[in-house]
């Protein structure tokens, strides 16, 4: 596959078509990089629109209540949504 979406150094998705890879990157719930595997160059990723994210509430609930990792959950919420600390903490408080 020519285009790869990379997250933390690992390929998480692949596509032969650049427009499909860009659309996938733009709606990804986590920040990814788009790499052209033929040239090895990193390509620009379109900006994510705030309305496209979906928070994994079940995962966050488990992190907060079962695993007692509320700070990590807040960091995850901030990364996914782009919200500030206060908004992310308020959301985490509502979940758990």
pLDDT in tens, 13-47: 788 888 777 777 776 767 778 899 899 898 877 66
Are residues 45 and 8 both part of a single domain? yes
Q: What SS3 state is found at 13?
A: strand
pLDDT in tens, 53-94: 566 777 777 878 877 888 888 888 888 777 888 888 888 888
Range of the domain at 79: 55-95
**Alpha-carbon distance 77 to 60, whole Å?**
8
> Considering its fold, how many domains does the chain have in total?
2
Are residues 44 and 59 both part of a single domain? no
Are residues 8 and 45 both part of a single domain? yes
Say if pTM beats, i.e. exceeds, 0.85: no
What pLDDT was estimated at residue 52? 46
Are residues 68 and 36 both part of a single domain? no
Are residues 69 and 90 both part of a single domain? yes
């Amino acid at each position: 596959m020519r285009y790869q979406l990379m997250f933390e150094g690992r390929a998480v998705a692949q596509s032969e078509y650049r427009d499909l890879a860009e659309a996938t990157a733009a709606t990804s719930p986590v920040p990814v990089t788009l790499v052209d595997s033929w040239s090895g160059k990193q390509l620009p990723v379109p900006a994510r629109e705030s309305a496209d994210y979906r928070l994994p509430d079940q995962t966050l609930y488990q992190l907060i209540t079962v695993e007692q990792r509320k700070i990590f959950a807040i960091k995850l919420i901030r990364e996914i949504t782009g919200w500030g600390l206060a908004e992310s903490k308020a959301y985490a408080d509502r979940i758990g």
